[in-house]
Amino acid sequence: MSLTTGYLLPFSQSATVPLTSTCSCHLASSFSNFPVSSRDYYSSLRNESLVLNGGGSNLCRRFCGLKLWILKSLNVRQGSHRKHQPVKELKTRSEHTFLSDERGFVEETGAADIRPEEVIVGTNLVTGSHKAGDTPSVSKQFLDGLSDVPRGASLCIAVVGATGELARGKISPALFALYYSGYLPEDVGIFGYSRKNLTDEDLRSIIASTLTCRVDHQENCGDKMDAFLSRTYYINGGYDNRDGMSRLDERMKQIEGVSKANRIFYLSVPQEALVDVACNIGEKAQASQGWTRIIVEKPFGFNSHSSHQLTQSLLSKFEEKQIYRIDHMLGRNLIENLTVLRFSNLVFEPLWNRTYIRNVQVIVSESVAQTQKYSDGYGIIRDIFHSHILQTIALLAMEPPISLDGEDVRNEKVKVLRSTRKLDPADAILGQYKSSSGDKTNAILNSVDPTYCAAALYIDNARWDGVPFLVRVGTGLIKHRVEIRVQFRHVPGNIYRDNIGINIDLGTNELILRDEPDEAILVKINNKVPGLGLQLDASELNLLYKDRYSTEVPDSYEHLIHDVIDGDNHLFMRSDEVAAAWSILSPVLEEIDKHHTAPELYEFGGRGPVGAYYLWAKHGVPWADD
């Protein structure tokens, strides 16, 4: 039997063939020093008694797998990693805390998590390049890696739509950054999937052209890039046929070996292809001995109805827990800071209600330069309002969750969304920047796609009754600004009112969480101006991140993909959240669709529609000037 042909041998068979090789594997009979890393694991095993002989290096690898299987059968538990620590072996929140109900998941200490019949005996030890359509081999370098790298759960990540803008511009660099920083297992397998006829080498060239080394640690970056690229494979396949996904599955199995093997599929394809891709992954490429998670890009449907259909399709193939609906803007520090500020400081939470908060403003204003980077053609309500803005409001306004567990947070977010009043079209100002012929950024706009929306929302619950949540989201504007402003009420009977000046609003306390420009947390307070007399000034207590921290901020895709690996879904929308969010926006979307409501035109690079200023005034909110 050749060891270079790349097929599967039943494990039981492999374990009973006469073993005459130079490979010696030793089995531990007692384990007193756990947790240990797998590297220690192997060395500690060397002193133990049971020796198995195998034939050649591949068989050696095979029995290293056998060792792990036996260790796992003996309930040996390896050391756990804490979140946000670089890992060599992946265990996730869900794995540590309970038996996941995700398909294919079995408890890590159980013998059942290794499928003996799927042991790889051998494979074609040539380079990773292959012709599209071949059943490809994995590289020698890769396999060599397998023999000396700890084999906990392995991880394969497939990017479906690998030739696209998002995959090239964001996902691949984020994966490399995670790999570089040690957040992916050394033996991770990265797969690109698309319809184009490419080879592994082609994909590697595409990816290589987008990779950069992080500013704060560039050591061995070239080596790391080479290692990363050597673990990258291309699969050519259609989105609407199962054959391609079966080949992807086969190829993943080749490198997964015998230990538990987890899989992530990043569905980076346009909406038209999403359901086909999800169904084929669901049927043909789910992990058989570990968890499978899919990452779905926004927009999550186009309205309540289409989103419901999409959700049903996804749920027909995957459990809710397997689905990660990503909105990269939620991977910013700003968003995590919302809850950190509220729930880990005493000073804010007692004031976090209608008694003390006068209004909340959520502003996402993209400048001309930013707008040219990416625009989608879905309109800003579907693109940014539905997920980013409503998730921000949900996190800001939710009741304290029982814990930081994703489901606990999502339970609270969905309550806020379901308590939010449907947006009255009279409380929404739609704008579109003026097109000028030949302007590339306008080519994607259809006549009624808004590029701007200002809106006033109300949350009808005890905490927020009557507090306006003002939203301003737009592209092609004068300034780039992403911030959340929480404006507090006036001090009742303020004895300093004469010293503040006639405009009492100038003396209003405000908490500002700023993402762009210059990430910062600011608190606007009143203080005395130095000198004789008593004059008050409104100043800002300013935590400017770039002054306080010198470390580079990871890209939001990096943050969120790391969360997916970790099984932390609190920043990803659950199906009920998606539905509740559409329900809030439905009246406006229906109005646009039914009546082809023309948005108010504004200058590209201007301040947006003037109607927004009136909306702010109507709800008693002073405009935070651009």
Ligand X SMILES: NC(=O)C1=CN([C@@H]2O[C@H](COP(=O)(O)OP(=O)(O)OC[C@H]3O[C@@H](n4cnc5c(N)ncnc54)[C@H](OP(=O)(O)O)[C@@H]3O)[C@@H](O)[C@H]2O)C=CC1
Binding flag, residue 213, ligand X (CB under 6 A):
no
Residue with tokens 């109300």: 458
In the bound complex, what is the minimum distance in angstroms from residue 274's beta carbon to ligand X? 7
Choose between 198 and 581: whose C-beta lies nearer to ligand LXAUTJHC: 581
Pick from ligand LXAUTJHC, ligand X, none: which does 276 bind, CB < 5 to 8 A by kind?
none
Q: How many residues bind ligand X (CB under 6 A)?
A: 20
- Do residues 3 and 17 make contact, with C-beta atoms less than 8 angstroms apart? no
Of residues 368-397, those binding ligand X (CB under 6 A): 374, 376
Give backbone dihedrals phi and psi of 172, rounded to 5 degrees, phi first.
-60, -45
Report the distance separating Cα 525 and Cα 535, nearest Å: 14
List 62, 67, 151, 298, residue binding ligand X (CB under 6 A): 298
Binding flag, residue 302, ligand X (CB under 6 A):
no
Choose between 324 and 616: whose C-beta lies nearer to ligand X: 324
In the bound complex, what is the minimum distance in angstroms from residue 477's beta carbon to ligand LXAUTJHC? 12
Choose between 208 and 273: whose C-beta lies nearer to ligand X: 273
Binding flag, residue 307, ligand X (CB under 6 A):
no
Pick from ligand X, ligand LXAUTJHC, none: which does 271 bind, CB < 5 to 8 A by kind?
ligand X
Which spans of this chain sit near ligand LXAUTJHC (rule: CB under 6 A)? 328-329, 366, 370, 373-376, 383-384
In the bound complex, what is the minimum distance in angstroms from residue 360's beta carbon to ligand LXAUTJHC? 21
Residue with tokens 């489901």: 407
Pick from ligand X, ligand LXAUTJHC, none: which does 204 bind, CB < 5 to 8 A by kind?
none
Strand-strand pairing, 428-433 and 357-367: unpaired
**Measured at the alpha carbon of residue 414, what is the angle toward residues 354 and 385, in degrees to the nearest 5?**
80
Pick from ligand X, ligand LXAUTJHC, none: which does 308 bind, CB < 5 to 8 A by kind?
none
Among 249-257, 264-272, 308-316, 515-523, which window interacts with ligand X (CB under 6 A)?
A: 264-272
Strand-strand pairing, 261-267 and 232-236: unpaired
Choose between 384 and 571: whose C-beta lies nearer to ligand LXAUTJHC: 384
Give the DSSP letter string of 574-616: -HHHHHHHHHHHHHHHHHHHHH-PPPEEE-TTB---THHHHHH
From the number of C-beta atoms within 10 Å of its C-beta (0-12, 13-18, 19+), residue 585 rates as buried
Report the distance separating Cα 155 and Cα 262, nearest Å: 5
Greatest Cα pair distance, the chain, in angstroms, is 97
Closest CA to 480 of 440, 520, 524, 518: 518
Binding flag, residue 273, ligand X (CB under 6 A):
yes
List 85, 272, 493, 530, residue binding ligand X (CB under 6 A): 272
Of residues 234-253, those binding ligand X (CB under 6 A): 239
In the bound complex, what is the minimum distance in angstroms from residue 161's beta carbon to ligand X? 4
Catalytic residue among 130, 388, 562, 570: 388
Pick from ligand LXAUTJHC, ligand X, none: which does 269 bind, CB < 5 to 8 A by kind?
ligand X
Choose between 250 and 376: whose C-beta lies nearer to ligand X: 376
In the bound complex, what is the minimum distance in angstroms from residue 357's beta carbon to ligand X? 31
Containing 340, the helix (H) or strand (E) segment is helix 333-344
Choose between 128 and 161: whose C-beta lies nearer to ligand X: 161
Q: Which pair of structure tokens corresponds to residue 48?
A: 């133990």
In the bound complex, what is the minimum distance in angstroms from residue 375's beta carbon to ligand LXAUTJHC? 6
Choose between 159 and 470: whose C-beta lies nearer to ligand X: 159
Report the distance separating Cα 546 and Cα 61, nearest Å: 48
Strand-strand pairing, 154-160 and 232-236: unpaired
Choose between 140 and 195: whose C-beta lies nearer to ligand X: 195
Residue 217 designated active-site: no
- Do residues 109 and 154 make contact, with C-beta atoms less than 8 angstroms apart? no
Residue 435, number of CB atoms within 10 A of its CB: 14
Residue 267: beta bridge partners? 160, 296
Closest CA to 115 of 250, 3, 261: 261
Closest CA to 246 of 193, 321, 183: 193
Binding flag, residue 163, ligand X (CB under 6 A):
yes
Binding flag, residue 624, ligand X (CB under 6 A):
no
Please report the beta strands in 170-251, taking only residues with DSSP state E, as ranges in sequence order: 189-194, 232-236
List 10, 110, 270, 400, residue binding ligand X (CB under 6 A): 270
In the bound complex, what is the minimum distance in angstroms from residue 237's beta carbon to ligand X? 9
Pick from ligand LXAUTJHC, ligand X, none: which does 268 bind, CB < 5 to 8 A by kind?
ligand X
- Do residues 378 and 398 make contact, with C-beta atoms less than 8 angstroms apart? no
Report the distance separating Cα 443 and Cα 450, nearest Å: 14
Containing 545, the helix (H) or strand (E) segment is helix 545-548
Binding flag, residue 271, ligand X (CB under 6 A):
yes
Choose between 256 and 366: whose C-beta lies nearer to ligand X: 366
User: Which residues fall within 8 angstroms of residue 306, CB to CB, at 6 or more apart?
Assistant: none
Chain residues that interact with ligand X, rule: CB under 6 A = 161, 163-167, 194-196, 239, 268-273, 297-298, 374, 376
Annotated catalytic residues are 388
